[in-house]
Structure 1
Amino acid sequence: MSKNILIGLVVTGGLIAGAPLIFPYSFFKTDVESTLSKLTNTKAQIGSIHFNYSPVPQFTLAQVVLDSAETAAIERIEIPVSTHNLLNWGQSLRDITLDQAQFSRQFALDIPNKLQPRADSKLKISRINLSQASVKLETSTVGPVNGQLRFKADGSIDDLLITADEGRAELQVQPAEAGTFKVQFNAKGWTLPLGYPVQFEYLKLIGLANAEGIDIADIRADLYSGLVTGNAQLKWSQGWSLSGQLFGKNIQAEPLIKVFSHITRTSGRMNADAVFKYTSADYASLFKQPQINGRFVVQDGMLSNFDLVTPLKSQSPTVQSRGGQTNFNTLSGGITIANKVVQLRSLSLDAGKFRSRGEIVIRDNAIVGNVASQLAAGAVTVSNQLRVTGTLNAPELRSGGAYRPGGEAPTLQESPPAEPSTETAKE
């Protein structure tokens, strides 16, 4: 019995592949267009039909248009002559590949309705592979991406699975209520595309999408041995915007900070929270202008390239160049990032008998700020004021000399540190 089935499959496949020797495939093009129109609930147009024998036997529908070229244009639709497709001829097709498909945003959102089986259609699709697919927006394009559309037994869409970055990132989209989609993103060993190579051990986002954007209700990530949670909203109806809040706990500070500053950095365990917002006219430039406000506390660490203790040893004016370190029990403060300027405010470093307070501004790699320090050694208390200049990689600490202000630490100037000068920024 199985032998007869095998022979039948071979004969059927041979007849299909040899059909163009008797009739050209263009002879059947109108019927194929009619079938494709019913499957997609559109008006389908096919440029040409071919049969390829390698690498696998398959039919190729080339230059396919659904409704219009602006709505959906597909370079190739590949239909394999597989055992499943031969055994279920006219009833089910599996592993169809859409190669270099480009959809409008409205068409992409309406795909669940477009591929909803018609009552008079016996043919159902069980799996569609997407290769280099993209969605065209008003001023930009999302993609290309690779993925897979999977279908339920009744022929309706079950989910869309998109993979990226050699399988390290995976996006699952499932139709929900009318016009909405459940969205889940999972990634392992993945670098976030925000301009800096921050790598997550694991990242999971869960949200709900519609025509206006995505509401990301739950963010969970393993980042440098710590935990990050939060939520966000991505909007694209009028330009692009991404906003939200994040909470970090027990993160190793040094590998994270080294992403932004390899030389001047700090070690220790960090807790932090931040609100952020990115806005842009198009997706391509969305992450170029961050607006971030946050707070942080780092415990049991070391500040590298900043020696705050040595200037306290001299009562004469000194200039200390890069190098050295400062150990601490706690380092805390606030951070604001906007217009390519980083402000570190209300900085507080405590290390037992030594403590410092300061404000720092970083712009174009130039750094300026003020730091007030105090060291209590028995009955003697030594304090000083430092002016911070130079660059982030090579800061300079300028002291007017250490003094003994009756046991009171010097206070910072009321005004914030000046913006880095153009000359300093170019150093």
Structure 2
Amino acid sequence: AASEELSEAPPTLFAEFAVAPEPAREIPPAEVVEQKGPKETDTELKAAAERKSQQEAGAAHANAMHEMARLKAEAVAKAEMDEATRKMAEEQAKVWAEAEQRAKALAEAQALVQAESGAPPSARPEASAKAAAPVPKKQRKPLPLGKMAAGLLVLLLVSVAVLPYLWPMQDSAAKIENILSQQLRQKVRIGDMKASLLPLPKIELKDVSVGEAQELKAGSVVLNFGIGALFAETKPISKAEIGDLALAAASLDKALGWLQAAGGDARYPVSQMVLQRARVVGENPNLPTVNGSADLDAQGHITKVALSSEDGKLGIELKPQQSRWQIALNIRESSLPLLPEMQFDELNAKGEATGSEISFSELDGRLYGGMVMGNAKLSWQKGWQLQGRVTVKALELQKALPQFGISGEMDGDASFALNGEKLAQLASTVGVNGSFVVKKGAINNMDVVETVTSSRQGVAGGRTHFDELTGLLQADGTGQHLRQIKIAAGVMSANGSVDVSPGRQLSGRLNVDLKMRAGLGSVPLVLAGEAGKPSLRVGR
């Protein structure tokens, strides 16, 4: 207001300038200068300064008014935004409240229906009256189409996953039986079948058997497919899991052929077979239960087989090579199924297998403190035969043959042959021919020097130490036969032969020379008794 008054009326100090001016008379510049004195010049300068101050004050006022307008506009915009936010929150709360009210009303209606169904007749009218009470109508909101679509999708997926377990699939099982029967040229039976699509397509078969006599049986077969199998004409099987597999020993070669043929169908090529708890049943030398896998190529040919016993002590690996199979076998702290009485610390074998034999060109292992090396061949074209040759080094006899009561480290070389009509008969029909050298040992429960010097009959007990014991070994169905035995010790030497019957009965003769009896000739001794408990007497 003050500024308005200032603009309307000039200050008192400059009132003289408010008088209406008289018509100006043109005065030459020189005259004007002459007419103005020092006082008039100061007055004009002050007036100019005042006008400049007024202009600056006006500009500052205008700027202040503009800033106030801007701040007011911002305050109004913020207030409008806060109001819109508040209204939106109220609307959202209202929507949630209405939804909660509808859910509560639905729950009350369901509870009322349930109460009516379980309540006595006298109580039903009251419940019906409550149910008939008018419910205030509320404005319906638009349906949540997105949520409904998601719910329908979940329901569809659940239906796809569950339906195969509820839908009868015996017709499909019969079709698979026919397909496999034609492919294997053997009768195939399937006890039950299930299928599912989630998370990936798969078919589960139960109680599967192949062959008229069910030479191959599996408790379960699970065929796993990729998602692309649903849309392709060829339906690759990524993995076939075979559980509780039983192979008949009498038809082992045929059953193994059926397994490979099952993965060679061009319409259903198998990439991998997984075997769980596979075993050979029937007349067999107690072969262990194994787990493993077989990888197949696109043509259905096996590229690798890996098997291991459940205790991890036996492992077998097979790889095809033209018409043969490369085979690698390893044993840890266990025995061979064909020789259960021979305990290996470790045994590794490498060789090749065909349809009629397995030939191990390399054998090396550790047993009873010593080492063994050699080769072996197992064939079954005309009965079962196992033959080969082994060399042993530093074998501790006390560990290997504790029943004979002999100690020392043995080196030996022997060939062996086992024959039988059936696989289980190989262990009972053994033929061995070899030689041996035992150093720094002793024979327990027998004293050769004491028997010779005392001339007593049936001497038992004591111990005979020796520096070296050599001989030839022959073993067959009649027992073990030791020939060309030579014993060298510090005070005596001996030679002779010993026989051990299948019942471990001993019989034999030794000719003993003592250094203290030099020139008196050899003393014959007769050996009898049983292994581990020998007896000696002087012979004639």
User: Is TM-score (shorter-chain normalized) higher than 0.5?
Assistant: yes
Shift, 1:199, TM fit: 1.1
Per-residue displacement from partner, 1:208-259 (whole Å, max 9, x unpaired)?
122222112111111122211111121111111111111111222210111x
For the pair 1:324 / 2:474, whether they are aligned, the reply is no
Distance of 2:409 and 2:285 partners within structure 1: 40
Q: Which residue of 1 aligns with 2:359?
A: 215
Q: Which residue of 1 aligns with 2:432?
A: 292
Mapping 1:24-423, distance limit 5 Å: 24-30=168-174, 32-33=176-177, 45-50=189-194, 60-66=204-210, 68-70=211-213, 73-79=216-222, 91-94=236-239, 96-102=241-247, 104-110=251-257, 114-115=261-262, 117-121=264-268, 124-134=270-280, 145-152=289-296, 154=298, 156-164=301-309, 166-178=311-323, 180-194=324-338, 197-258=341-402, 261=403, 264-314=404-454, 317-363=455-501, 364-377=503-516, 383-399=522-538
Distance of 1:278 and 1:118 partners within structure 2: 40
Q: Is the 1:85–1:94 contact (alpha carbons within 8 Å) kept by the matching residues of 2? A: no
Distance of 2:396 and 2:370 partners within structure 1: 7
Per-residue displacement from partner, 1:140-191 (whole Å, max 9, x unpaired)?
798573232321564642322232372211122222223x222221001012
Match of 2:341, SS state, is coil
Q: Is the 2:297–2:303 contact (alpha carbons within 8 Å) kept by the matching residues of 1? A: no
Instruction: Report the count of equivalent residues.
Output: 376
Match of 2:289, SS state, is strand
Q: How has the CA–CA distance of structure 1 residues 271 and 17 changed in structure 2, closer, same or farther, with 3 Å as cutoff? A: farther
Identity %: 23
For the aligned residue pairs, the C-alpha RMSD in angstroms reads 3.7
Q: Which amino acid aligns with 1:185?
A: L
Match of 2:448, SS state, is coil
Q: Which amino acid aligns with 2:510?
A: V
Match of 1:309, SS state, is helix
Per-residue displacement from partner, 1:384-411 (whole Å, max 9, x unpaired)?
221112222322110259xxxxxxxxxx
Match of 1:313, SS state, is helix
Match of 1:238, SS state, is coil
Q: How has the CA–CA distance of structure 1 residues 300 and 10 changed in structure 2, closer, same or farther, with 3 Å as cutoff? A: farther
Per-residue displacement from partner, 1:252-292 (whole Å, max 9, x unpaired)?
2210111xx2xx32222111011111111111222112111
Structure 1 or 2, whichever has the larger Rg, is: 2
Q: Is the 2:240–2:272 contact (alpha carbons within 8 Å) kept by the matching residues of 1? A: yes
Distance of 2:353 and 2:406 partners within structure 1: 39
Structure number with greater CO (CA < 8 Å, separation at least 6) is 1
Per-residue displacement from partner, 1:1-48 (whole Å, max 9, x unpaired)?
xxxxxxx99985773344233x21224335545776799798855332
Distance of 2:453 and 2:203 partners within structure 1: 82
Q: How has the CA–CA distance of structure 1 residues 14 and 291 changed in structure 2, closer, same or farther, with 3 Å as cutoff? A: farther
Match of 2:419, SS state, is strand
Shift, 1:74, TM fit: 2.6
Match of 2:375, SS state, is strand
Q: How has the CA–CA distance of structure 1 residues 99 and 38 changed in structure 2, closer, same or farther, with 3 Å as cutoff? A: farther
Normalising by structure 2, what TM-score? 0.61
Q: Which runs of 5+ in 2 are unaligned?
A: 1-152
Most deviating of 304-313 and 162-171: 162-171
Compare the two structures and name the one with the higher helix fraction.
2
Q: How has the CA–CA distance of structure 1 residues 342 and 165 changed in structure 2, closer, same or farther, with 3 Å as cutoff? A: farther
Q: Is the 1:299–1:331 contact (alpha carbons within 8 Å) kept by the matching residues of 2? A: yes
Q: Is the 1:289–1:340 contact (alpha carbons within 8 Å) kept by the matching residues of 2? A: no
Most deviating of 35-44 and 126-135: 35-44
Q: Which runs of 5+ in 1 are unaligned?
A: 1-7, 402-427
Normalising by structure 1, what TM-score? 0.75
Per-residue displacement from partner, 1:346-377 (whole Å, max 9, x unpaired)?
11111133211121112122211111112214
Most deviating of 277-286 and 374-383: 374-383
Match of 2:532, SS state, is coil
Distance of 2:288 and 2:342 partners within structure 1: 23
Match of 1:347, SS state, is strand
Compare the two structures and name the one with the higher strand fraction.
1
Distance of 2:183 and 2:287 partners within structure 1: 25
Distance of 2:421 and 2:465 partners within structure 1: 45
Q: Which amino acid aligns with 1:319?
A: Q
Q: Which amino acid aligns with 2:245?
A: Q
Q: Is the 1:132–1:143 contact (alpha carbons within 8 Å) kept by the matching residues of 2? A: no
Match of 1:167, SS state, is coil
